[in-house]
Structure 1
Amino acid sequence: MTALRLAPLLRPVIIALSLLLASAGLARAQSCSFTASDVVLGPVDVLGGSPTDAVGNIAISCSAFLGLLSSIDMRIHLGEGMGGLGGGLRRMTSAGTSTGLGFELYQDAARSVVFGGSYGSHGGQNLRLTGASILTLLTGSGMNVPVYVRVPAGQNTVVPGNYASAFSRNPVDVRVDYRTCNILLLCVDRTATFSFTVRGQVVPDCRVEADDLDFGTVGLLDQPVDVSSQIRVTCTAGSSYDLGLGYGLHGGGVNDRHMQDLAGNRIGYQLYRDSGRTLGWGQPADGLATTAAGSGAMQSFTVHGRVPAQPTPPPGAYADTVVVTVTY
């Protein structure tokens, strides 16, 4: 009698225990892997007024043991990177340079939410994936998470070079915390990591602008007429350059420049590098250009012009066009 009553009771217990062990095994089997592409910014314009942007990608793939899986809650943390921090930004560094190239990582295309985390010293927000945002993982097809990168403008003191910052240290630079749970609320906490590098290249660059040189209104050319104007040059820090002036539309050399009117009448003039008007200003090939070193800031150069005494041509408007060339 006793044996016959116990047998029915043992079977449900054994079945329930088997289900419990099976579901726990499925929860333990569920795991995810992560890979990320390097982000290559290419040439970075540190002299311009606009930022340089690029987009990277984190690929997430989870194993297909999904029989009783109910949910995944995932948080991706990104720290400062191997380049460290400077001026409130992450930094890329370059061998042989003391300056860093600032950049930032964002979660959104508008670049308003900084991609950070709870590890390291950068701060910012970790990226949480749960609910509808992670349903593709539950099908085994995986998902891609974009990482938006920006190098802000206004970094004109950064010298040319190849810059990089690697994200590889766990948990300082990269860490993923995620939890998988089944329908019986059996949950497993896991961590993972991945690596990627942000790269950018700062190339030598220069910007130039020049004011007109206006000799004004003159009657007789029986004495020299002297005026001056400005040329402004901005070149990347550490870049050497030559500032040369052409011979105009009607000239044949550094001492043979002419302004001309519509009738073809001419007035000779000259351009100099010094206020005493003894150093002619020509091209690098003449050895008569100005040589300077870029600092990332605007540098001004004075052009000293002279119309020497000469026979006075017919009245009219005389002009010439001189090409300003910066060689770097």
Structure 2
Amino acid sequence: MKWLRTGSALILALFFQCLWLPQATAATNCTATQPSLSFGAVSATGMTDVQGSFSVTCNTFGLSLLAGARVRMCLSIGAGVSGGGNFNPRRMLNPSADPLQFQIYSDPARTQIWGQRGNAIVPNPVLADFDYSVPVLGGSQTRNFTLYGRVPAQAAAAGSFSNDFSGIHTAIEYRYAEQLLGTPPFPASCTSGGTAGASTSFPFIATATVANQCQFDVVTHLSFGSVAGAIDANRDQVSSIGLTCTGRTAWQLGLDDGQNADGDVRRMRLGASGSYVSYELYRDAARTQRWGNTLNSDTVTGTGTGALQTESVYGRVPAQPAVPAGSYSDTITVTLTY
């Protein structure tokens, strides 16, 4: 009889132990796909908008009864490896460490900067809640998110730009709550409350390319004035060519020999007559370096800064015999190569 009571107590203890086993919970795991944020070729004078998307999936397995799970999540984006701590605006760099300003927003109107939880400058991460059932074989939910990128108009250098948002520069922080029967309340925040929590990331690289671009801003005419009688002394005058090129864009300015050249001697012509006045154009104020149109030889070279650059054209009419009175002219073609 004593043995039977002992056996009954043992059976009763096992019964209660088995009754409580189903209350053990299963870990919830959330993972993200990798977004892409490629601006492609952007203009230094215009605005470029793109967007990239990714998804986050939360899975819960191992609950042995019909159950529910709720997840509260914060998705943060930092300054990026090349950001130098800058959030507003963010920046990309080219191999020469020139910056290209850009921004990442959480809304299509591009008014809400996608920030980082706890950041003093842009503290607003994207908040998301997951709410799904977890039957015997487990349950999951997937949500999609969009990065809204913008490169504003700016004076940018040419090159390929990037910023790597890896490591600590993206974060998904979440807390989850599980319940065997019914629906549990949401955790208090993405870092407190609920059953447990974890963190992961969604690394990506923001990229953009600024092409080499140049344009003429102003080209002034070169007037040598009037001479009475013979040209018995040099007549020197200066005109200018203004251009703007994206930063680090190598350029060359060439001048052809005009419409009336005799060999490599430039000439102005009196109307449709056979009367000419010879002249020359130079790259230097001393008028020793003839300005021609052969690349890497007799052109003027420079590198763009993103701002207006002005080059002087040094003209000279040398002393020469008297010619018939009248107005002499020539047309020079300016070539900008970059």
Asked whether the two chains share a fold, i.e. TM above 0.5, the reply is yes
- Letter of the 2:36 partner, please give it: D
Moved more, 57-66 or 274-283: 57-66
Counterpart residue number, 2:35: 37
User: 1:174-189 counterparts in 2 under 5 A?
Assistant: 174-181=170-177, 183-185=182-184, 187-188=194-195, 189=197
Q: What amino acid is aligned across from residue 204 of structure 2 in structure 1?
A: F
Q: CA deviation at 1:112?
A: 2.3
User: Does 2:60 match 1:61?
Assistant: no
Alignment of 1:1-328 (within 5 A): 21=22, 25=25, 28=26, 30-45=28-43, 48-63=44-59, 68-69=67-68, 71-85=70-84, 88-95=88-95, 97-119=96-118, 123-130=122-129, 142-156=142-156, 158=157, 160-169=158-167, 172-181=168-177, 183-185=182-184, 187-188=194-195, 189-215=197-223, 218=226, 222-223=230-231, 226-251=236-261, 254-258=264-268, 261=271, 268=277, 269-285=279-295, 287-306=297-316, 311-312=323-324, 318=329, 320-327=331-338
- CA shift in 2, pair 1:292/1:266, >3 Å: farther
- Report the alpha carbon displacement of residue 82 of structure 1 after superposing the two structures with TM: 1.2
> For residues 137 and 155 of structure 1, what CA distance do their matches in structure 2 show?
53
The CA distance in 1 between the partners of 2:110 and 2:132, in whole Å, is 25
3-state SS in 2 of match to 1:117: coil
CA distance in 1, matches of 2:47, 2:83: 20
Give % identity: 26
- Distance in 1, matches of 2:85 and 2:34, equals 24
Instruction: Report the Cα offset of residue 166 of structure 1.
Output: 1.7
Which structure: greater helix fraction? 1
Residue 280 (structure 1) shift: 2.1
**Equivalent-residue separation in structure 1 for 2:297 and 2:325 (angstroms):** 32
C-alpha spacing 1:254/1:59, structure 2 compared with 1 (3 Å): farther
Q: Which residue identity lines up with residue 117 of structure 1 in the other structure?
A: Q
Q: Distance in 2 between matches of 1:101 and 1:197?
A: 14
Distance (Å, rounded) in 1 between the aligned partners of 2:275 and 2:48: 48
Q: TM-score, normalised by structure 2?
A: 0.68
Greater alpha carbon shift after TM alignment, 71-80 vs 291-300: 291-300
Which deviates further from its counterpart, 237-246 or 250-259? 250-259
Contact 2:68/2:133, CA 8 A, preserved across alignment: no
Q: Number of residue pairs matched?
A: 298
Secondary structure of the residue that 2:122 maps to in structure 1?
Answer: coil
Deviations 1:245-301 (A, max 9, x none): 12334546652354675x577755432223344432111348221233444443211
Q: Could you list the runs of 5+ residues in structure 1 that have no partner in the other structure?
A: 1-13
**Secondary structure class of the residue paired with 1:311:** coil
The more displaced of 106-115 and 140-149 is 140-149
8 A Cα contact 2:28 2:59, kept in partner? yes
Q: Give 3-state SS (helix, strand or coil) of 1:128's partner.
A: strand
For normalisation by structure 1, the TM-score amounts to 0.70
Q: Which runs of 5+ in 2 are unaligned?
A: 1-15, 186-193
- Please say which structure displays the higher CA radius of gyration: 2
